[in-house]
């Protein structure tokens, strides 16, 4: 008799939903539970009936759209890898994915791309956008037209979206606060550099960082906060200005302009006294870690974000089943020089 998910759940002592999460490589399953389920699947020689599912769905075309900023280099490649993985896994399901881009912070173009997606027949949208009134209003309009939206990478928590996939930015900021506290002394004036309040993720990182420092007894009011919009020149100027203060010993880079920060420290000759904590593990940040120019970075799985957003939307269209949770946030590992992957 062919093994079923129900049989696996009973033998492993878990729910059918937990087995389903393991089958689809979803988060929030304890490692020992995941291993137990995989062992049971092997014992029962379980093979997902992929062909039956494909035949059931292949007659219904599904058109999904990804709307995201114009990313370059590492971020673009990782997000594209997630889309490619989704398309490969769903190649038998008559599904297409269109990627529409807009210049970072260009809300007007983002809104027009959302309209274009609907005109092009998008049945669901994976969206990375600024959290602002205009975008929230557009989300309400899409919800009224029954076009489901999953936000990824940057959330719009007050908007009409099904769920969010990406970093738990507030938690990541609290982790950063834990790390920084180990290096700070009374009288220090750490610098926090983020993109700005319209970037929900960067704003949450900053708030989590300051919150955790305050809980640990450090005067978070002694922190300088600079909004530099992910701009190299603005970041360089902000760091250079802050370095005039000899009490600056720690910089938390909550945005992507890490190269500008490193350059400013080098030009000022302050590498011996200033520690740097960053986010993500793109090749340049990895190089900075290995060279000792950045001390730690808090990573995130970018490819998972686009992949999971599309997977949740497809499942909703195919099964008319909303996601079981509002937020899908994989772990944010801390990387040092010894842990960052070697450059190719």
Q: pLDDT digit string (tens) for 84-128?
A: 999 998 887 889 999 999 998 899 999 999 999 999 999 999 999
Which DSSP string do the residues of 242-259 spell out, in sequence order? HTTSTT--EEEE-SS-HH
The owner of tokens 């960082």 is: 209
Residues 133 and 217 in one domain: no
Q: Is residue 53 part of a domain?
A: no
Q: pLDDT digit string (tens) for 277-320?
A: 999 989 999 999 999 999 999 999 999 999 999 999 999 998 88
Does the global pTM surpass 0.95? no
Q: pLDDT digit string (tens) for 173-198?
A: 999 999 999 999 999 999 999 999 88
Q: Classify residue 343 by its DSSP letter.
A: P
Residues 141 and 152 in one domain: yes
Residues 266 and 202 in one domain: yes
Instruction: Give the list of residues 6+ apart from residue 215 with CB closer than 8 angstroms, or none.
Output: none
Residues 318 and 276 in one domain: no
Domain of 237, CATH number, reads 3.40.50.2300
Residues 287 and 200 in one domain: yes
Residues 9 and 93 in one domain: no
Task: Give, in order, the Cα–Cα distances in Å from 47 to each of 41, 138, 287, 295.
Answer: 8, 42, 42, 45
Q: Is residue 323 part of a domain?
A: yes
Residue-range definition of the domain harbouring residue 213: 169-298
* 93 close to 62: Cβ distance less than 8 angstroms: yes
Looking only at the bridges linking them, the beta strands covering 95-102 and 250-253 are unpaired
Tokens at 325, concatenated: 């949770």
Residues 265 and 188 in one domain: yes
Helix orientation angle between 200-215 and 169-181, rounded to the nearest 10 degrees:
40
Residues 206 and 256 in one domain: yes
């Amino acid at each position: 008799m062919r093994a079923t998910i129900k049989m696996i759940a009973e033998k492993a002592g878990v729910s059918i939903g937990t087995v389903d999460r393991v089958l689809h490589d979803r988060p929030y399953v304890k490692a020992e539970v995941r291993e137990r389920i995989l062992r049971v699947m092997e014992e029962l020689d379980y093979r997902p009936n992929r062909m039956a599912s494909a035949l059931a769905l292949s007659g219904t075309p599904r058109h999904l759209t990804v709307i995201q900023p114009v990313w370059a280099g590492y971020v673009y490649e990782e997000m594209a890898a997630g889309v490619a993985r989704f398309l490969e896994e769903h190649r038998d399901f008559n599904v297409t994915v269109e990627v529409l881009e807009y210049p970072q912070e260009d809300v007007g173009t983002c809104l027009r791309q959302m309209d274009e997606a609907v005109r092009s027949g998008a049945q669901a949208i994976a969206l990375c956008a600024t959290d602002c009134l205009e975008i929230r209003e557009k989300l309400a309009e899409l919800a009224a037209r029954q076009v489901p939206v999953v936000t990824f990478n940057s959330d719009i928590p007050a908007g009409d979206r099904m769920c969010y996939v990406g970093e738990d930015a507030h938690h990541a900021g609290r982790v950063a606060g834990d790390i920084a506290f180990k290096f700070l002394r009374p009288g220090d004036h750490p610098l926090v550099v983020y993109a700005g309040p319209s970037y929900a993720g960067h704003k949450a990182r900053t708030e989590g960082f300051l919150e955790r420092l305050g809980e640990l007894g450090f005067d978070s009011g002694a922190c300088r906060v600079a909004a530099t919009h992910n701009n190299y020149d603005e970041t360089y100027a902000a760091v250079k200005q802050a370095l005039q203060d000899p009490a600056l010993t720690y910089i938390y880079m909550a945005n992507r302009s890490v190269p500008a920060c490193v350059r400013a420290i080098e030009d000022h000759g302050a590498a011996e006294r200033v520690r740097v904590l960053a986010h993500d593990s793109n090749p340049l940040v990895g190089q900075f870690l290995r060279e000792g120019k950045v001390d730690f970075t808090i990573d995130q799985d970018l490819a998972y974000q686009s992949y999971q957003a599309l997977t949740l939307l497809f499942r909703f269209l195919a099964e008319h089943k909303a996601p079981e949770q509002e937020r899908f946030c994989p772990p944010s590992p801390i990387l040092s020089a010894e842990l960052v992957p070697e450059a190719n």
